[in-house]
Amino acid sequence: MNEFAAALLNWFDQSGRKHLPWQVRDAYRIWISEIMLQQTQVATVVPYYERFIQRFPNVNALAAAPLDEVLHLWTGLGYYARARNLHRTAQQLIAHHQGMMPKTLDEVQSLPGIGRSTAAAILALSYELPHAILDGNVKRVLTRYFGIHGPTSNKQIEAQLWQRAQQCTPTTRVANYTQAIMDLGALVCTRSKPLCHACPLATQCIANVQTLQSQLPTPRPKRTRPQREVYVAVISDESDAILLQQRPASGIWGGLWVCPQFDDAESCHTFIHSKVTNAKSLQKMPVIQHSFTHFDLTLRPYWAANAIARTVIADETGYCWYHPHRPAHIGLAKPVLDILKYLQIATSAIEVSDV
DNA sequence: GACTCGTGGTC
DNA sequence: TGACCAAGAGT
């Protein structure tokens, strides 16, 4: 075994994480956790993972469930395409792989929502197959250890990192090694103020020897974030039901239910007047500011409270009335949760009525 | 290859 | 407090 892996594994035996909820010999649970953990911190994932596994303990349960219920359990976690892909992959596993996770990198990687790194993680953690992962933790460890300069978004830099990652991956204790290098990145080789005194690789680490920890990995070039502004029609009827509209499958909040949104206040008001008879109840709600990774969003909600609702236009698909006091499961966007919370409307039980 | 996708944490 | 990032992938 190479020196890098040997030192890392020795450290893992002493200091690694061994009791995370998904650290089991179960490819299904490992797959679910790897998807949830994409671009998402461990502490955020844990409660979502527990609820998800309790409701969908195996691939059969997940494949048989309606997509809306999967999205419901994903509400608030973000990157909702992950939930849609999870559902699609479950059905593909049933249809084409006897309900089992396949054991080759190409087969796993061809499944929806699973790229090279996630496929490698599933195979390494589930089956001890020696495939290298390359997530944010590994990139940070490797750029520092090997003194690799340049943004990791650069194709050549990334290729170099994949090569190093594969070179360091041992052929035995692969699952432990995979967990070890992630743990080192998360617990020791942190972005700021890394704990080099506690690092098993410190003496051979170029960044440590040359005091370049704060400069590696090279930060990605800056980008200015565009501003978006949306006017929101929050319409509730006398039974507190809220009018919701399902967003298209792709794009922001794909497949989720939100209050109808408009680019300008006038078309928002026109819509509200077309849906209610006593629009005098129209009032402004507090503005909701969202700061996403790639843009800033301003939501300006107008609330037509206790209005006498007209029926939803029959040929206008995608509208429903949200009944807070009846059980059902639909995916809600975070701003809708905030709005309903402000209106003191429960969100634990949801029903979608026919339009 | 640049852009998009969400939310919460950190400094 | 705003910039930056987190068990990345799809378009």
pTM score, whole prediction: 0.94
- Please check whether strand B approaches the CB of A80 to within 7 Å: yes
Q: Which fold has domain A3-209?
A: Endonuclease III; domain 1 (1.10.340)
Q: Which nucleotide is nearest to A297 (CA to C1')?
A: B6
- Residue A121's SS3 state is helix
**How do residues A127-145 score in pLDDT, each as one tens digit?**
999 999 999 999 999 999 9
Identify, with chain letter, the residue nearest to nucleotide C7 (CA–C1'): A37
Q: Which of residues 207-226 of A touch strand B (CB under 7 A)?
A: 223, 226
Nearest residue by alpha-carbon distance to C1' of C8: A38
> Does the bond joining A66 to the residue before it have cis omega, within 30 degrees of 0?
no
Whether the predicted pLDDT of A29 surpasses 90? yes
What gap in Å lies between CA A147 and CA A136, rounded to an integer? Answer: 16
Q: For chain C, which bases have at least one atom within 7 A of a protein Cβ?
A: 3-11
User: Is the minimum distance from the CB of A294 to strand B below 7 Å?
Assistant: yes
CA A330 distance to own-chain centroid: 17
Residue A76, CB, less than 7 Å from strand B?
A: yes
CA dihedral for A166, A172, A177, A178, sign (positive or negative):
positive
Q: What integer pLDDT is reported at residue A342 of this predicted model?
A: 87
Q: Which residues contact A178 (CB under 8 A, 6 or more apart)?
A: A121, A124, A125, A133, A169
Tokens in use for A270?
Answer: 């026109």
Tokens of A161: 């990192």
Residue extents of the structural domains in chain A: 3-209, 227-354
- Judging by DSSP bridges, how do beta strands A257-258 and A242-246 pair with one another? antiparallel
For the segment A74-97, what is each residue's pLDDT rounded down to a tens digit? 999 999 999 999 999 999 999 999
Nucleotide nearest to A20 (CA to C1'): C7
For strand B, which residues in window 310-329 of chain A come within 7 Å by CB?
A: none
Planar angle of CA A191, A194, A199, nearest 5 degrees: 130
Residue A94 CA to residue A197 CA, distance in Å, equals 48
DSSP A52-87: HHHH--SHHHHHHS-HHHHHHHHTTT--THHHHHHH
Protein residue nearest nucleotide B11, by CA to C1':
A192
- Residue A66, pLDDT > 60, answer yes
Both ends of chain A: CA-CA distance in Å? Answer: 63
A244-294 per-position pLDDT tens digit = 999 998 999 999 999 999 999 999 999 888 888 766 567 889 899 888 888
Query: Which of chain B's bases lie under 7 Å from a protein CB?
Result: 1-11
Task: Calculate Rg over the CA atoms of chain A.
Answer: 24
Top-level class of domain A227-354: alpha beta
> By C-alpha distance, which of A306, A300, A322, A301 is closest to A246?
A322
